[in-house]
Amino acid sequence: MYIFKDLGEIEYKRAWEYQEECFNEIIKAKLYNRENENDKKEVTNRLLFCEHPHVYTLGKSGTQNNLLINDDFLKKINATYFKTNRGGDITYHGPGQIVGYPILDLEELGLSVKEYILKLEEVIIRLLKDYNLESSLLDGATGVWLDVNSSGQTRKICAIGVKASRYVTMHGFAFNVNTDLTYFNHINPCGFVDKGVTSMEKELGEKQDLEKIKKQLLNHFESVFNVSFK
């Protein structure tokens, strides 16, 4: 079973806790099914979309030095900070950014973690193509980028950081649509000091319809992963 839910604007900690609940539910069902071949439980895969209030999150492979401000300045700009259990370094979440949390059983989908991340990136690349924005991958980095072959012009439009255990995923992607990019000035995004950050609004010169883009993202997700969400 595949269920989609738009959580709207939600505090990062609340969304994280909800993810953990969904993640643990899948793990529990998978362990049960291994012991009960004749009485299997249905695994409920989920895709969550949301927006967060201003927050910086640091992944397991990151360093706190990439947060360039102190606690007092965090309060001044109305932002919070969390260390998380996803992969990757530091990133920013905030209003106008679509955050996607797929909580999926990769074994059911027949995917490795690497294949899963490539498919996440493909979802974003296809969405951007709908708006005549050419994007691609960057060697040695996750996420979706613009102008990867133009020295000094390379900029990230979507960050990706995931956790996978027993082939079940959580965390996911942060896609800059109408994001206030000034908040990225206070970090080395994803640990990079020589790459820029951008958004659809900046690239297209006007604010975008967030609800329309969410629907398009969901359609591309279903197509790329060959699933159908209720």
Exposure pattern of 83-108 as b/e (b: 16+ CB <10 Å)? ebebbbbbbbbbebbbbbbbbbbbee
Please provide the DSSP assignment of 84-142 as one string.
-SSSSSEEEE-TTEEEEEEE-BHHHHT--HHHHHHHHHHHHHHHHHHTT---EEETTEE
Distance CA 220, CA 97 (A): 18
Active-site option among 22, 50, 158, 190: 190
Q: H-type helices in 140-209, by residue range?
A: 200-204
Shortest CA distance to 116 belongs to which of 125, 126, 105? 105
* Residue 190 annotated as catalytic: yes
Specify the DSSP class assigned to residue 169: E
Residues with active-site annotation: 190
